[in-house]
Every structure is written in C-alpha cells, then in structure tokens.
Amino acid sequence: MAVPAENLEPLGGVEPDDAWAEEIRALAAERDAVLLAHNYQLPAIQDVADHVGDSLALSRIAATSDASTIVFCGVHFMAETAKILAPEKTVLIPDARAGCSLADSITADQLRAWKREHPGAAVVSYVNTTAAVKAETDICCTSSNAVDVVASFPPDQEVLFCPDQFLGAHVKRETGRANVHVWAGECHVHAGINGPELAARAAANPSADLYIHPECGCATSALYLAGEGVVPKEKVHILSTSGMVEAARRTSAGTVLVATEVGMLHQLRKAAPSVEFRAVNDRASCRFMKMITPAALLRALREGTDEVHVDPDVAVRARASVQRMIEIGTPGGGE
Ligand code: SF4
C-alpha cells in the first residue's frame, strides 16, 4: 500500500539547474540508462528525460530500448509495468514511495475474493493496477480501449471491472451491458475535477475547447461527465498524449481547458506557445507523481535506487493480461 499522499515528504535540497541536468545526463550515460518521464512529472524532470509520455507508451519504449537500465520517473505501478514488459532489464524508480491511490484501491486478495463471488466472470483491469492485480486479470485496458475490451466478451458473460468507478460507469453506459460489475475505486485527484466545476469552467469560456487525457485515473471523472452532457459534446476532445499535442498545434481555439493532472500543461505550452492552456482545476496535482524530485533522480542515478522487483511468476501472468489488451485493439496513448 502506498503511504497516504498527505504524509509524503519529497526528497529536496537540489536545484534543477544546468549543472544538475549535465550530471544527470552523464550519470545516465555511465549507467547505460534511458530516462523515461510521465507527462505529470515536474517540468525539470520532463525536460531532462529521453522520452516523455503516458505510462503505456513509456513501458513500450522500456521494452524496446537498447539501454540495460530503465529509470522510470512516474509512479510505482508504471515502473512495475515496465519491469513486466522488460524483465531482463534493471528498472529504477527514483522514489519507491511514489504510489497511486487508484492502483491501491484494490489488492490481489480483494480481487480473488470478488472473483469467487462471480465464478465464470471475466476480469478487466485498468492499467493503473499493481502487477499482482494484473496477474489476476484476464485483460488489461486503458481508457481509450476499455469499451472495446469489455465488448470483446460474449454478451451473456459477466465482467468484473476494476479499479476505477468512473471509467467503469463510462464503459457500462457505452456498452449498454447490465452484467458489468464495477469496483468502487478512485484516484484522489478526481475530487479536483468535478461536474459543477467542469460545467462552470466551460460556461465561463464558451469558445474554449476541452481536452481530456484519459490515460491516468485523474481524468476519468471528466470522461464520464462529458458523456453525461455536462459540457457541449462538440467542444470535448478525448485525446491521448500525442493526440493532445497534435490537436494543440492545429487548434484555432485561443483557449483550451485541460481536464487532467496539471503536469500535462508543460508539454502543451511547449507545443503551442500562442494558445492559452488552462487547467480545469489547478489543484489537480498528484503528490505521488511529484515525489520524483531533482534530488530523488540524482540519488537514483548515483546509488542505483530504488530498484523495482516483480516476482517472475506474477510477471508472466501480468504480462499475459497486458499482451491480450494490445491484441484486442489500439490501447491508445503515445507521446
Ligand atoms: S493522478 Fe491519480 S491515478 Fe494518476 S498516479 Fe496520481 S493517484 Fe494515481
């Protein structure tokens, strides 16, 4: 279980200046390491990384990279997913306390008990889950392909969907299936992106577009609310990271409201400096993501910490559920 976000004290004391960036790059070269940074990382971490993207895109890069060490600047389940897909590589996360309240919403024991209550049901898990939960899962999904993944099961087969209740409600509505059971999990950042706030922001900015990046649980409530008609449908763009950056370059809107974790604004502003990008809620910041500080990254590269381990048997079963997802359709995402 992750430490509650309010009790976390990030490792500090290092300024991300040019000398820091140089040392990071030199240490990464010495270690034969590739630096991967999730979109919700601090700007300095994004800027020093080799690749910036969502969790799945980064895990794929981890699997295909020539580097023998992966330094995953993100939260723990993401680094675990990289290890699942690249078991022969050393995977480091700069601070192993960087958990995820959504991934912690369900444990493998809880999922096993739920399966016993519904024998014969298929299990679909959002990628924001631990390796142990993925190992108990038939098919993983992202928000982009969750509807397709659930629809791939025969209509009369029960489906257990976990851990995100907003994404589960969205899937239930889109598939029209009554036999989808949804786990009541959520991300703590959700609370910052609620219906009235989203509607008020959209009403106050009638010419603005609304971008929703669904690859992290913090935006799944916005995804659900957009489907409920809380904001005009034609203004809503549900986009992967790369889609969001491309749309930003093409948009004729002067203002774009972004319903996701605030770290995403950094990449969007870099891509389209003349467009005003505003967070739907500027308090929608994940404290787990911000555990990866300049000091933590420096320590990781100097000391080779914190190494991520996944039990080989768990990794084999977890990998199968991720690979089935990839076979079913476009998982979405990308840099
Ligand atoms: S924003 Fe939410 S879902 Fe994403 S890593 Fe943080 S706690 Fe997990």
Can you list the domains of the chain with their CATH numbers?
5-100+288-310 (3.40.50.10800), 103-187+315-328 (3.40.50.10800), 189-279 (3.40.50.10800)
Angle formed at CA 131 by CA 127 and CA 134, multiple of 5 degrees: 55
Distance from C-alpha of 78 to C-alpha of 81, rounded to nearest angstrom: 5
**Ligand 1 atom nearest to 103, measured from its CA:** 8
Distance from C-alpha of 103 to C-alpha of 164, rounded to nearest angstrom: 9
**Ligand 1 atom nearest to 261, measured from its CA:** 1
Residue 153 has what DSSP assignment?
A: S
- If you measure from the C-alpha of residue 307 to the centroid of ligand 1, how many angstroms do you get, rounded to a whole number? 21
Helix axes 76-85, 55-64, angle to 10 degrees: 40
Return the residue whose CA atom lies nearest to atom 3 of ligand 1. Answer: 217
Q: Respond yes or no on whether the N-terminal peptide bond of residue 163 is cis (omega within 30° of 0).
A: yes
Burial of 197 (0-12, 13-18, 19+ CB in 10 A): middle
* CB contact at 8 A, 246 and 221: no
Ligand 1 and 222: CB distance under 6 A: no
Angle formed at CA 127 by CA 108 and CA 25, multiple of 5 degrees: 115
Using CA atoms in the order 31, 56, 255, 43, what is the torsion angle rounded to 10 degrees? -20
Strands 69-73 and 90-92, sheet pairing: parallel
- If you measure from the C-alpha of residue 74 to the centroid of ligand 1, how many angstroms do you get, rounded to a whole number? 10
Ligand 1 and 295: CB distance under 6 A: no
Ligand 1 and 260: CB distance under 6 A: no
Strand extents, DSSP E, 42-186: 51-53, 69-73, 90-92, 122-126, 139-141, 159-162, 180-182
Mutate which of 38, 104, 127, 216 for ligand 1 pocket (most atoms within 8 A of beta carbon): 216
In this structure, how many other beta carbons lie within 10 angstroms of the beta carbon of residue 303?
9
Q: Which of these, 138, 140, 145, 137, lies nearest to 128 by C-alpha position?
A: 140
Angle formed at CA 209 by CA 207 and CA 213, multiple of 5 degrees: 165
- Tracing tokens 């489906």 back to the chain, one arrives at 159
Using CA atoms in the order 128, 130, 132, 138, what is the torsion angle rounded to 10 degrees? 10
- Which two structure tokens, joined as six digits, stand for 290? 């911000």
Return the residue whose CA atom lies nearest to atom 2 of ligand 1. Answer: 187
Residuewise pLDDT in 10s, the chain (335 residues): 555 555 689 999 999 999 999 999 999 999 999 999 998 899 999 999 999 988 778 888 998 999 999 999 999 999 999 999 999 999 999 999 999 999 999 999 999 999 999 999 999 999 999 999 999 999 999 877 888 899 999 999 999 999 998 889 888 988 999 999 999 998 877 656 777 777 888 888 888 998 987 655 666 667 777 777 777 777 888 776 667 888 999 999 999 999 888 888 999 999 999 999 999 888 888 999 999 999 999 999 999 999 999 999 999 999 999 988 877 655 554 32
- If you measure from the C-alpha of residue 61 to the centroid of ligand 1, how many angstroms do you get, rounded to a whole number? 21
Q: Report the pLDDT value the prediction gives residue 242, as an integer from 0 to 100.
A: 67
Q: Which of these, 169, 130, 129, 131, lies nearest to 150 by C-alpha position?
A: 169
Indicate if the alpha-carbon torsion angle 122, 123, 127, 133 is positive or negative: negative
Ligand 1 and 128: CB distance under 6 A: yes
* CB contact at 8 A, 243 and 268: no
- Tracing tokens 């993401």 back to the chain, one arrives at 78
**Ligand 1 atom nearest to 75, measured from its CA:** 5
Q: Report the pLDDT value the prediction gives residue 334, as an integer from 0 to 100.
A: 33
